């Protein structure tokens, strides 16, 4: 009976493994509301003969759960507000204010559809489009748009009730610290929650 159960369990686990070779991948919605990708590690099955070859003992070894990759949803509120303001200035015939505000609104609207903050197991990375293509080097300070959480010194979300800017300082780009600002064109609640989880609580202090 024990041998039969052991062999049955071995066939069951092996069938799960061979159903999808390699890692078993699934896509879910995260507890933050954004998308996340979860990858199970490969189940390693080790068998050995015991009791003069009369039975097989199978064990599942090396199971490791990795942190999910979280991508906050895009948010279009800021560009919509800016475009609305531009329209208001056009209505009162104030083109000097309408043009720059309208252009900024259009720029952020386009960026909202393509720029993604990707929080993987060890770093925050800026990627482009639904295919998550590389964003290249940072146009202002150089280097890849990818920063490890362990290098974050401080971060802040301005303002909690209607987040407009996310600020963070990291020491990966340069030892004395590098400051970054990004417009919040993502879901603010999702962004805040994942930043707290991965980077620690905000110190509620802006850049000097």
Lowest-confidence region among 9-13, 73-77, 108-112, 149-153: 9-13
Stronger pLDDT, 159 or 169, i.e. the higher one: 169
Place of tokens 């990707």: 118
Helix count and strand count (H, E) for the chain: 4, 12
Q: Please identify which residue in the block is written with the tokens 């780009």.
A: 173
Round to whole Å and give the CA distance between 184 and 112.
9
What pLDDT is attached to residue 84?
A: 97
Q: What is the pTM of this model?
A: 0.65
Q: How far is CA 2 from the centre of its chain?
A: 46
Question: Which DSSP string corresponds to 11-53?
Answer: HHHHHHHHHSSSS-EEEEE-TTSSEEEEEBPPPEEEEEEETTT
pLDDT per residue over 82-98, tens digit each? 999 999 999 999 999 99
> How far apart are the C-alpha atoms of 1 and 196, rounded to whole Å?
52
Question: For a pLDDT cut of 90, what percent of the chain falls above it?
Answer: 51
Write out pLDDT tens, residues 161-193: 788 999 999 999 999 999 999 999 999 999 999
Mean pLDDT of 67-90: 95
User: Cα(171)–Cα(59) distance, rounded to whole angstroms?
Assistant: 44
């Amino acid at each position: 009976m024990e041998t039969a159960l052991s062999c049955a369990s071995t066939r069951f686990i092996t069938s799960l493994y061979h159903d999808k070779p390699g890692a078993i991948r699934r896509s879910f919605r995260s507890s933050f509301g954004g998308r996340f990708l979860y990858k199970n590690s490969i189940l390693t099955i080790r068998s050995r003969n015991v009791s003069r070859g009369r039975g097989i003992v199978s064990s599942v070894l090396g199971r490791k759960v990795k942190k999910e990759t979280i991508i906050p949803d895009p948010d279009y509120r800021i560009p919509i507000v800016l475009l609305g303001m531009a329209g208001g200035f056009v209505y009162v015939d104030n083109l000097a204010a309408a043009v720059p505000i309208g252009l900024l609104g259009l720029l952020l609207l386009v960026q909202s559809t393509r720029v993604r903050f990707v929080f993987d197991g060890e770093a925050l990375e800026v990627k482009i489009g639904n295919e998550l293509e590389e964003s290249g080097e940072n146009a202002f300070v150089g280097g890849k748009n990818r920063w490890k959480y362990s290098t974050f010194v401080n971060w802040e979300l301005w303002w909690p009730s209607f987040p407009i800017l996310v600020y963070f300082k990291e020491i990966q780009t340069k030892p004395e610290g590098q400051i970054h600002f990004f417009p919040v064109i993502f879901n603010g609640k999702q962004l805040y929650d994942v930043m707290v989880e991965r980077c620690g609580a905000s110190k509620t202090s802006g850049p000097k």
